[in-house]
Amino acid sequence: MATVILVRHGRTPANVQGILAGWTPGIGLDDVGREQVEKAGARLAALRLSAVVTSPLDRTRETAAAILASQSRDVALHEDERVGECRYGDWTGRSLKDLSKDPLWKVVQGHASAVTFPGGESMPAMQARAVDAVREWNARLGEKAVYAVVSHGDVIKAVLADALGMHLDHFQRIVIDPASVSVVHYTTSRPFVLRVNDASGDLATLQRRTRRKRSGDAAVGGGSGDA
């Protein structure tokens, strides 16, 4: 099936200030963030993307625009709320320092599957919608597709946890930095996680990988199909 490149948006003023932005409108990238996504776009220029799917928030749309600008041909852009940020409800706009004093904070860190944000959504619901979105885009774009999904840290961690067969309660063990790239190749048998939180690796090999024989199983011993 398809290969999805999960790209977190670049740095924002909220990231610097330690504010939980959530779905707050009007939060774009700062100067560092714009530089980060230009570099990310240049890295993805080595790939012939089938599409770019983005969260509808400003910071992800700016990141998606940088990726599209680096492509050598026209690539379709799609917005999908299902890969949008977790809806943090009453936590939105508050400082992480203050939130860390809330009893719910420890639950978020160690038992995410039990969390429903006050006035917001549950973390399992966030994971379910994001995973459903990726799998539906896989089917829509086809098994040869290599496409980007531009999203947010918690959402990307939740998708990766699913691909790794990891319980949501452990998803905080995954680190996803601004403008980083994580890659999952989906097959008829299982997903294969090829990269996590990658900020500098050569991505051209991903295109070559998709042109190889698609058996749906990893090579014996190597686990990646590579010698």
Q: List, for residues 65-106, the tens digit of each pLDDT value.
A: 999 999 999 999 999 999 999 999 999 999 999 999 999 999
Determine whether 156 is exposed, middle or buried from the number of CB atoms within 10 Å of its CB (0-12, 13-18, 19+). buried
| pLDDT tens, position by position, 47-69 | 999 999 999 999 999 999 999 99
CB 176 within 8 A of CB 157: yes
CATH for the stretch 3-202: 3.40.50.1240
| pLDDT tens, position by position, 14-49 | 999 999 999 999 999 999 999 999 999 999 999 999
pTM: 0.91
Residue 132: pLDDT above 80?
Answer: yes
Determine whether 175 is exposed, middle or buried from the number of CB atoms within 10 Å of its CB (0-12, 13-18, 19+). exposed
Q: Both tokens of residue 131? A: 């995973």
